[in-house]
Amino acid sequence: MQNKSIAQMAADLRLRTYSSVELTQHYLERIARLDPMLNAFITVATESALAAAERADRTLRSGETGPLTGIPIAHKDIFCTQGLKTSCGSRMLDNFIAPYDATIVERLAAAGAVVLGKTNMDEFAMGSSNETSWYGPVRNPWDQTRVPGGSSGGSAAAVAARLCAAATASDTGGSIRQPAALCGVTGIKPTYGRCSRWGMIAFASSLDQAGVMARSAADAAFILDEMAGFDERDSTSAEVPVPDYVDALDDDITGLRIGLPKEYFGEGLDPRVGEVVMDAIKEYERLGAEIIEISLPNSPLSVPVYYVVAPAECSSNLARFDGVRYGYRCENPKDLLDLYERSRAEGFGPEVQRRIMIGTYVLSAGYYDAYYLKAQKIRRLIVEDFKRAFEQVDVIMGPTSPTTAFPLGSKLDDPVSMYLNDIYTIATNLAGLPGLSIPVEPVDGLPVGLQIIGNYFQEARLLNVAHRYQHVTHWHQAAPVGFE
């Protein structure tokens, strides 16, 4: 059952080939048996999942079904889920039970999806390897000595290992696309504002965006169809009509203009990764697309810009975690200052503390103009680069990550090397554009991702372009050994 697409599962459920309870029990059994090897889940919601599956079966019997009725999914532990722990991978929120559902959680529940549990993640979504979690690192199902990518490594590993049909995730600088690439799954980050951020714990508010991890573009389209749309509770939500993503999957791509940024194929890219990515792009040529070389001259500046803007926003957003209202509180504080200092020092991990300190520094008097203001000006130049590019091309393609998955622990002591893992993904967040990663031919048995970037609110085109490639290739169907 776990190797079927969402469309196939939905058809089976409607035909009563098996029930949602049986399907949910199947996934829960796989999680119990296989997740100890991966640590992909923080919380497994056995009781509520089976109760939701029973409700889905009643709906199925009534004949009033949708495409997700009875389909078991998982949520990244950054999304508030009423009655379930929402930890954000941090000791700071280890005891936090959300009193409400995030908008996307609410919408997927209304569509009939069954929530199996909450997936592991880098603490407060800060990391590229899923090693900063208070609950321990997630392991890549393709090689358990390697990282799954981050910060949505738990969602990526769970989907790759067939522990759920799909999973929600979030992307601030590549946190959907990079782990999707390293784990061999499909991951889409929609346009900023396309999916509501209400109920998603904030890291960097001008960059964060909810998205989807699934085995294929078609599966991702089913989930995004239910997630996307305007939400009046989110002031950054875009009031733009949402097309039917599933309907657009099979559109013809003859004449598609694909832009190849020369900056994405230079120094720092593993030559073998570059080779298989180019092979995938040549497949698009065979499908009738046209390849055009373009330039994104300011994209090499995206990493330093991001590591000014994102920490600045995080230092503001995480000020609320003070040991007073909710979350972790230190033992026996001497006074209010001691409560603040020790609660934050003990509740936050090293990477979160590093980013809070950097962010506070760049926002401080005397440094705001030199760092934060300058970073925002360069961010505007990056946006203009993309605008010029999309006057020539329909989509932009390149590698998602410069390498395949690296060994656990190999970059923990070198933050700059860790940050460079997102060099091809960060610019998309700075510009607020949609981006998607799909698996292509592996290198030495490890997955490689092709990144596809679109213009604003062009998620339907991205999913269509990805689906056409997956229609003539099989890389997205491959399963890690032991998790078939």
How far is the C-alpha of 304 from the C-alpha of 13, rounded, in Å? 49
Verify whether residue 76 is a known catalytic residue: yes
Cβ-contact 397, 285 below 8 angstroms: no
| Cα 367 from Cα 308, distance rounded (Å) | 11
Among 90, 151, 155, 315, the one annotated catalytic: 151
Is residue 152 annotated as a catalytic residue, yes or no?
A: no
Catalytic-role residue among 76, 118, 189, 411: 76
For residues 193 and 235, give the distance between their C-alpha atoms in angstroms, rounded to a whole number: 9
Instruction: Please give the single-letter amino acid code of residue 169.
Output: A
151 is catalytic: yes
Q: What is the largest CA-CA distance in the chain?
A: 70
Q: Cβ-count burial of 144 within 10 angstroms (0-12 exposed, 13-18 middle, 19+ buried)? A: middle
Location of structure tokens 């002031």: 235
Active-site pick, 20, 175, 299, 315: 175
Side chain identity at residue 365, one-letter code: A
Q: Which of 161, 70, 163 is nearest to 117 (CA)?
A: 163
Of the candidates 156, 72, 69, the one whose C-alpha atom is nearest the C-alpha of residue 483 is 156
Q: How far apart are CA 465 and CA 471, in angstroms?
A: 10
388-392 long-range Cβ contacts below 8 angstroms, 24+ apart: 389/259, 389/261, 389/294, 389/295, 389/296, 390/455, 392/257, 392/259, 392/292, 392/294
Annotated catalytic sites, by residue?
76, 151, 175
